[in-house]
Each structure stands twice: as C-alpha cells, then as structure tokens.
Structure 1
Amino acid sequence: MDRTQKASKGTVSVESFQSRLRLRLPRQLYEGTQKYLTLNLADTPENRQLAEQKAHQIELDIASGSFDETLAKYKPQRHLSIVTPGEQQKILTISDLWDRYIDYKRPSLKPRTLDKLAVLEKHIKRCPYQDLDEGIKIRLALLQQTTTSQAKDVLMYLSAACKWGMKHGLVTFNPFEGMYNELPKHKWQDNSKPNAFSEEEKERIIQAFKNHKPSKGIGYSYYSPFVEFLFLTGCRPSEAIGLQWKHITPDCSQITFEGALVQVGNGERVRVNGSKNNKKRVFNCNQRLQELILKIKPEYVEPESLIFPSPEGLSIHYRNFSRRAWDKIVDPLVERQTTPYSCRDTFISEQIAKGVPTAVVAKWCDNSVDVIEQKYLDAKLLEQLKPL
C-alpha cells in the first residue's frame, strides 16, 4: 500500500513536509480535526522505513482499540510531537536549526565541505547557550571555546541557516545577521598573495624532481611528470590527482577536467564530480604537455586508471606529497615557503604575461576574472615585462 496516497479510514500516512517526515493521523481520532505526528527525520529511504514501522504500530493500536490519544506511547524519541495544520513548529535552539539546515543542504554539498561542517557542528553542539534569542552570548561563547577564525565560520553558517529557516517559516528572525563580518579576516584572506615562480625557477624545480635519486627507496623523480603537469595546466592538484585516462583523448591533445580526488577526515580520499565551481572544462594541450602525457601513457590504457598514481599504485596523498617531496626539493631551491598550488599561480601569471586575455585564462583554470586577478596573478612576474 502506498502511504503517500489518500489515507483510508484508520490508516496512518507517511508524508514529507519541508523535506522532513511526519505521520498524518486519521481525522476520526480527534473528532474530525486533522493532526500530525512529526518525526523530525530527514526524508530518506532509510528514515521512511522507520516511519512506516511507526505508522503500522499506530494502525494496529487503532484496530485493537488501544490507541493512545496523548501519543506518549508513540514518541520514544524526544523529537516527536503532535501538531495541527497551520501550527508551524518554531525552532528555538541553534542545534535543532543546524540539524535541519544541514539535512536539507546535504545532497548538494561536496565531501570536503561536509568535512568542514562536521568540525563546526561540534562547536555548535557544545555551546552552553542554545536559544536563538541569546545571539550575543552565543558569539561570546564561541570565541571562548575555539579560534576567532572558526567562530567566524560558525556565525556565518548560523546566519545562513537562519535565513533558510525564515524562508521556510521555522524561525522568525536572524540574530547572527552580519555578526561574522565584525570579526577579523581569516589569515588566508590577509595572506592570500600569489606566490608564482619565475621561468627559471620553474625549470629548475622540474629538473630537480627529474634528477632526484636517493641512496635507497623510491626517489622523488617518480613525481616529476605530476609536477610538470601542474605547471603546464594550472589545474588544482586535486584535479590532477583524480585525473583518469578516460579524461584524455587518444592522441593526448585534449584533457577534460570534470572531477577531483579530495582528502577528508583523516586523509580519506573521496572522488568529487565536477570542479570546485561545479563545472566541466576542456583544456587543449600545447606540444610540450602533449609529449609529456604521451611519454607516460601505458601501452594498454585502462580508462578508469589514474594518470598519476602513487608509487604504491593508489592515489597520491596530497598532504604527504606536499610535506615530504615538495618541501624537501622546492623550498630549499627557491629559498621561500611554497606549496604545489604555486604551480597554478605560475601558470596563470605566465599566460597573462604572454598576452593571453584574463577571461580566457579564467576559463582554462575554472575561476572568475576577479578571482584570477586578486588571488593568482603575481605582479612580480609582470614587473619583468617591458611595453611593446
């Protein structure tokens, strides 16, 4: 029987209301008044099974004459309550609001974002002040229990959750509106200057990887094609790490970037479809890049295989690569701290310095023109040019 259809006499229906599950109770139980039992469960296949079981239990009690009109028997969880139509359940605590907001947004969020939100959630759950009308106290408590940067993020997401709650009639005001903007900028916002390499530095880095030969074990020369690829495409490291042979044309003249392998939690790698900005882009290879890919292309290509696997045949662990191979070879060579993302800065700065329009470079690298100019374009390289 489909419980989402109109309920017959004595039948309890499972309904989805604002992406949450509730039970519609038969009218004759309350003298013709329509009432519901809210479950506070997200509308998922697993939760629907639980809701069906609860509905069946109530139906059996109705049939046997043992139905509990107070509903105390049917709500072992603290979330269950009875409401009548037109009665909008208001959310009074930030934890409850957070749970509903994240459940609603979860299907559209990327793994790395969910990983970040799991950390922020811990601060929300252990905040001693939970009522929405205690906004100032919540702000002070967050600043005491975590860093200013984390507190700023929590307040930003709580503000977004309140806006969502107001839209859906769950809250009536937003005590966190603009509150996060009053806190200092994140360090990465203040120290987000691009750190591109010069042409000479780039070539020295590529050669240093190619020539690295340790006394024992696998040398970092293994990573030289990966490093050169980052320099020649300007792609994000996670995009290169997740790239598969099915993403490259047979003649290696064209690459399709449509996903990445990102690290979440304690280093677990998760494949994400779409770019950071949920886009798919095609990148045409120049001669040097095409020759690089042809050189490492296996005789028999497995479409699902990674182009740049780790020495163990798995995916490259970005953090380990950065801390060990990159830091050991690159930083002493250029005498400053850098990351593999500097390859992206270098590609973008080089292309614009050569006269490629910023709008074109932005499309190649999956960014807006404003982001390219503010975060990636290194003025040091442009200073070396002379007017034509």
Structure 2
Amino acid sequence: MYAKTQAIPETVKVQSDNGTLRLQFSTKYNPIFGGKRKHQGLGLKDTPENWQKAIAIAWRIEGDLQHPDWQQLFDPSFAKYGLKTKYAAELKLAAPIPEPEPEITVGEMWEDYLVWKQPQLQPTTFELLYRISYTNPIKGKVYDKKNRVYLMLDNPLWDERLDGKIIECLSRFTCCAATKRSIISALSEAFLRLQSQEKTKLRVNPFAGIDSSTTPNKTDKYKSVVNVDGTVDLRWWDKSDTETDPEERDRRAFTKEERDIIIKAFYESEKANVRQAAPLVEFLFLTGCRSGEAFALEWKDVFLGRDKDCIRFSKSYNGRLKNTQVPKTGETRIFKIYPKLENLLSKIKPVDAKPTDLIFKQQNSKTWYIGHFAKLWNTYELKCSQKTYTYPGVVTQLVEEGKISVYLSPYHTRHTFITLMAQAGTDLLLLAAACGNSVDVIQRHYLGINTEARFPDI
C-alpha cells in the first residue's frame, strides 16, 4: 500500500485488498446495504495514481451520502462515480440511513433511576433526599425563604440531554456543596445504570470527575496530609466516610456542661410548650437515639425492672410523611437503661400509662415531629399580614447570651451522647449496638486516635 498524501473521508475509506483497491463503508451505512457492512471493489490496482483516484471517488460518494437529499444523489450502481458496470454492485436500497437517536434527557434518566432506587431506601430517605433535596436542583427549583415559594431557573439540568451542557447546568446549582456532591454522585450512579442497560451511546460518564466545589470539613480530624511534592501520607485510619446523611456526617458535639445547660434551660423556660419538651430533650441527650425514634416510642417499648431494664427502638415517626416506619438502619435496637435514664423515665411515667401511649407528646397530645420541635430549639419566624414575628429558640438564645459556645442542631444530641460515652470509656461494642452505629465509625470520628498505643509485652 502506498502512503496517502491527502486527507481521506471519514465514513467511506479506501483499502488495499490483495493488490487491488476497494471502498470500505462505515457501519453507519449498514441499513442501506441490507444490514451488513459493505465493501465495494474498484477494479483498480494498488498504485499511487490509483490511490489518488480512489480517494476522489470516496469523497464524492461520501458527499452524496451525507447530503440531506442523499436518496436522490447517491447512485447504488456506482456508475455515477466512473466505475465500470462489471465492477459495480447491483444494489437496492434496503432502508434510508437512520438519523442517530438523540440521547435522553437528564430528567428522563433520573425518573427511571428513582423507580429503581426507591425499594432500596427508607421511605423518609427517599422522599426527603431523593424526591426533594436532590430532584429540586435538577429541575431548577430554588426555594425562596423570604417569600416561601419555589423559583424556577432557566435551562435546568432536567431538560438537558446527556451529551449536552452538563457542567454548565451543574454550575448553576444553588444548594450547599455537600448536597451538590451527593447529587452528582447519584447522577453518576444513574448514568452507569443506564450505560449497563445499553440505553446510551455515550462511553464517558458525563458526571464523573466533576468538581463539586466542596470545602473540606474543618472538623475532619483525620484528613490526609498532602506533602509539598504532591504525595499523600495515608494514615491507618484513612478511609472514605460512606455516610450520605449530612446530619450524620457532621459529628460535632456539645460538652457535658453545655448539655446540662441546655436541658436546664428547657425545664426552667417561662413557656409551657418549651417545658413540655424538656423531658424529650433530656431523653435525646441521655440515649443518643434519633429524634424520630423518640417521637414514636411507646411505654410498651420500655422495660423497667431488675431482669430487663432496657428500651426497644423498633420504629421511627416522620412528621412530613405522617407515618411510622422502621428505624433508619432497618433493625430493632436494644438500649440498656442506666441510673440517670431510669430516673428520668420513672419521673415522667404516668400512673395510669397504657402500653400503647406515647412517652413524649406535645401539649395538645399530638405526636411530636421535627418541624415543631426544631422551632423550640432554633429561632423561627412567623409571618402575619405585613409583619414578621421572630421567636428565638432555647439553644439559639443560649448562644447569644454566651452560655454555650456554639449552635448545633437537635440531631447533635445524638453525637453528644456518643462522644461523651466513648470518651468516658464505655465498651464500644455496647455503644455501637445501642446507637445503631459501628465501632469503626466511633473510633474514627468520636474518639481521638492514639498513635502512641502499643501492644503490651505479654
């Protein structure tokens, strides 16, 4: 074969076959050749002059096939291109050249992904995270806190095709960096699933390697050390945190003194509804259970006595969905009662309590839910006509008065319990089982790593 000295067509190429030249057609044209890949002999010997001639023929044929009116221009007998009849194929067009099917939109991919993902998640996690927190930014919905309405962004990612301007759409996300990272991870999983089903022609994941502009968590004590030369010093505790719940990932805690100040402030509040929540606040600090688990707890779940002396966490209440479901981990946990917790339960248990009575109820005897409970904890605003009234929450007010150092959400009652218990030397396996956690997580995130520890000489 002789070296080519000019550009060649992309879909109609010239080849040398046993000393003669032929045309090789791209698989794109298979439909017009009866569904098979086509080779067409030219009847020309493999010489430099014939290569130039063959390339010119290939250009003409490709130009006709790429033209919108190709069916009128393309000559399947090849006589139009100067080929003798005895070398021309007697062809009949089997079908028009199909236009490549456009890639589906991100929204179509996402909806299909949610149908697949839903059975794998707790109803609360699916509804609040995937259906709301993740789906709204993809749809271009931004919540206006001031007017309490959703605003729609132009050209949302939802309507973009997978081969479109993905990065540009993601750059317009207004959610926090952690949520954006989680969304990109879910979109990447959705694409890989689509790819495995051969529902996309893309070979490169458009969501892989995208910088979510996340800022490293300043509370992460175990971040790997990056050297000047770019190498990374991995410690033995370096391991990816697979927890996706942002409330679980932020494991900051109140001190024991701050915990006691908060509990006392609830009990001594001038407001009756705040005092009503005081036993609930103390219970959350003394058990480390999730708020929904405390909201759903009934007296039949508490076993007081020498032989049993435990609490059974087997369900969780979600106020937004207004349903009771299994706990986040899907498992029933047994929590051993200790003296301080026993004193609290004995103090608040009514004499005529029925097994199915809720342990913690609002003033109106309704079930607690996190939305209402959070209003007592944090500052909230109430709009009436043209005025806005601000009501400071207990913990917010304590921070403003300088009585505690930092504001943390109600969920941090859980992190406070685990931290204080772990630092007090509690058996980690007992603590992990009681809180629905793992010893590994407690060691890495609630306890300082003792790099000086050594095996004893035994």
- Find the counterpart in structure 1 of residue 166 from structure 2: 138
| Counterpart mapping for 1:1-388 below 5 A | 92-109=104-121, 110-119=123-132, 120-125=134-139, 126-127=156-157, 130-134=160-164, 137-147=165-175, 149=177, 150-171=179-200, 173=203, 175-180=205-210, 182-185=211-214, 194-212=251-269, 214=270, 217-218=271-272, 220-249=274-303, 251=305, 253-264=309-320, 269-274=322-327, 276-316=328-368, 317-323=372-378, 324-328=392-396, 330-331=398-399, 332=401, 333-377=403-447
Structure 1 residue 145: deviation in Å?
Answer: 4.5
Does the C-alpha gap of structure 1 residues 193 and 164 become closer, same or farther in structure 2, counting only changes over 3 Å?
A: closer
Shift of 1:261: 2.1
Tell me the equivalent position of 1:21: none
Deviation per CA, 1:65-90, whole angstroms, max 9, x where unpaired?
Answer: xxxxxxxxxxxxxxxxxxxxxxxx99
Q: Which AA in structure 2 matches 1:343?
A: T
Aligned residues: 282
The one-letter amino acid of 1:372's match is: I
Shift of 1:128: 6.9
Structure-2 change in CA distance of 1:100 and 1:196 (3 Å): closer
Q: Which of structures 1 and 2 has the bigger CA Rg?
A: 2
- Shift of the 115–352 alpha-carbon distance from structure 1 to 2, 3 Å rule, reads closer
Secondary structure, counterpart of 1:334 in structure 2: coil
| CA deviations over 1:260-305 (Å, ceiling 9, x no partner) | 22344xxx5443312x222221001012212211221223333333
TM-fit CA distance, 1:328: 4.8
In 1, Cα distance between the equivalents of 2:424 and 2:309? Answer: 21
Give the structure-1-normalised TM-score: 0.63
Moved more, 334-343 or 183-192: 183-192
Secondary structure in 1 matching 2:157: coil
Deviations 1:28-74 (A, max 9, x none): xxxxxxxxxxxxxxxxxxxxxxxxxxxxxxxxxxxxxxxxxxxxxxx
SS at match of 1:208: helix
Deviation of 1:94 after TM superposition, in Å, equals 1.8
1:11 paired residue number: none
TM-score (ref. length: structure 2) = 0.54
Change (3 A) 1:365 1:330: farther
SS at match of 1:133: coil
Q: CA RMSD in A?
A: 3.2
Residue 43 of structure 2 is matched in structure 1 by none
Shift, 1:254, TM fit? 1.1
Structure 1: stretches of 5+ with no match in the other structure = 1-88, 383-388
Q: CA distance change for structure 1 residues 375 and 322 in 2, over 3 Å: closer, same or farther?
A: farther
Q: Equivalents in 2 of 1:368, 1:310: separation in Å?
A: 33
SS of match in other structure, 1:160? helix
Aligned twin of 2:67 = none
One-letter amino acid of the structure 2 residue matched with residue 255 of structure 1: I
Percent identical among aligned pairs is: 26
Q: What residue identity is the alignment partner of 1:347? A: F
How many Å separate the matches in 2 of 1:328 and 1:145?
29
SS state of the match for residue 289, structure 2?
A: coil
* Contact in 2 for aligned 1:326/1:339 (Cα 8 Å): no
User: Contact 2:251–2:412 (CA<8 Å) still a contact in 1?
Assistant: yes
Find the aligned partners of 2:119 and 2:282 in 1 and give their Cα distance.
Answer: 36
Q: Which runs of 5+ in 2 are unaligned?
A: 1-100, 140-155, 221-248, 379-391, 451-458
- The one-letter amino acid paired with 2:290 is R
Displacement of 1:159 in angstroms is 0.9
* Counterparts of 1:309 and 1:255, CA distance in 2: 18
Task: List per-residue Cα deviations over 1:298-351 (Å, max 9, x = no partner).
Answer: 233333332111122122223223215432564342142223333223322222
The answer on whether the counterparts of 2:298 and 2:357 sit within 8 Å (CA) in structure 1 is yes
Match of 1:7 in 2: none
Letter in 1 for 2:267: K
Instruction: Answer yes or no: is the 8 Å Cα contact 1:139–1:155 preserved in 2.
Output: no
* Residue aligning to 2:63: none
C-alpha distance in 2 between matches for 1:249 and 1:90: 62
Structure 1 residues 373 and 90: alpha-carbon distance in aligned structure 2, compared to 1, 3 A threshold: farther
Aligned letter for 2:439?
V
